Amino acid sequence: MKSSLLKSSLLLLLIMTTLYSCQTKSTQPNIEKAISDLTDKYPQLPKGKTNQSDYYKLVRSVTNGECNFQLQLRSTPDSIEDKQQIIILINKENECYAIPFFSNRYFDYWNFEFDRPTKGVKKTNTTFEKEFTTAINTLSLNDTLETSSKVINELFTSLLNCETVKETDSRQFEGLSLTKCYDQPTENFDSCWARQRKNFISIKRLIHPAKYYYNYNAYLDSRNSRIYQIINQENDRWKKMKPLIKMYRQGCNFRGGNDLPNFKIKKTSNTSKQSKIQK
């Protein structure tokens, strides 16, 4: 009798443990599926031979405990010449959504202001603004302006380590960083400098989300030579954000080696001055 009771208890314990294990497993975010679906959708994203979540290594992860969401930045291996990255958003239900974080060669995805795409690059037929908006809406991370603002802040300041651009930062737009992209033409220094000047004028004009508001809405991503400016087109804080994301490319491209950008020495009436190039 005792033996039968013990067997029944052990069997019940085994069943309960199995059910709990299955339940725990099913509630974990399916990162592998999210990345696989994204690489299937966009051939511009290279694929690994086996698991895509192993191929796209985790670079950084950020968790917001207040609104209970997580952000991940994943990247192809360093051996890839034109590295591509992926951002994954995860909500409190452990549902995840992956969006591309392409390199600057994909002009149509970033839709850069005051810039033109180069020939020979396959279009993505989407934009970062569209992908990001779809992600936060799908995961219910855009229920109010407060929630979506926290996602944006964590994304740009914590995950991507961006710097906030202010109206007093004009000097950051005077120097030029050199960016390597071997299959893109080397740019002219003067045209790069003129583009950055236009960038700053445009950013400064829209730098505050609202009149007399102390926050800033532009973020400098030095690592990727981009500036993201987030403008909310919905004024009611209790409604969903309608983001307009203006993108600005910084720096001047060169192929490498001795193929540096051409530039002219700008002269004034008293002195001659050469704009700085930051390597």
**Is 13 within a domain?**
no
pLDDT greater at residue 11 or residue 242: 242
10-19, 43-52, 55-64, 268-277, range with the lowest pLDDT: 268-277
CA pair distance 199, 201, nearest whole angstrom: 6
**Is 84 within a domain?**
no
pLDDT greater at residue 84 or residue 209: 84
**Is 56 within a domain?**
no
Contact 64, 154 (CB under 8 A): yes
User: What value does the mean pLDDT take over residues 76-88?
Assistant: 93
**Is 208 within a domain?**
yes
**Is 261 within a domain?**
yes
Structure tokens at 199: 């960038």
**Is 152 within a domain?**
yes
User: What value does the mean pLDDT take over residues 172-188?
Assistant: 76
Number of domains composing the chain: 1
Query: Residue 90: which of 119, 76, 70, 73 has the closest Cα?
Result: 70
Q: Which amino acid is present at 244?
A: L
CA pair distance 114, 174, nearest whole angstrom: 17
**Is 96 within a domain?**
no
Q: How confident is the model at residue 46 (pLDDT cuts 50, 70, 90)?
A: very high
CA pair distance 132, 245, nearest whole angstrom: 10
What secondary structure does DSSP assign to 41-100, as a single string? Answer: H-TTS---SS-HHHHSEEEEEEEETTTTEEEEEEE--TT-SS--EEEEEE-TT--EEEEE
Whether the pLDDT of residue 22 is over 50: the answer is no
For residue 183, the enclosing domain spans: 104-278
Whether the pLDDT of residue 12 is over 90: the answer is no
183-236 pLDDT per residue, tens: 677 888 888 989 999 999 999 998 876 654 557 899 999 999 999 999 988 877
Query: Residue 176: which of 268, 251, 70 has the closest Cα?
Result: 251
**Is 45 within a domain?**
no
Contact 63, 75 (CB under 8 A): no
135-170 pLDDT per residue, tens: 999 999 998 888 999 999 999 999 999 999 998 888
Length in residues, the chain? 279
pTM (predicted TM-score): 0.81
Host H or E run for residue 10: helix 2-26
- Tell me what pLDDT residue 44 has: 96
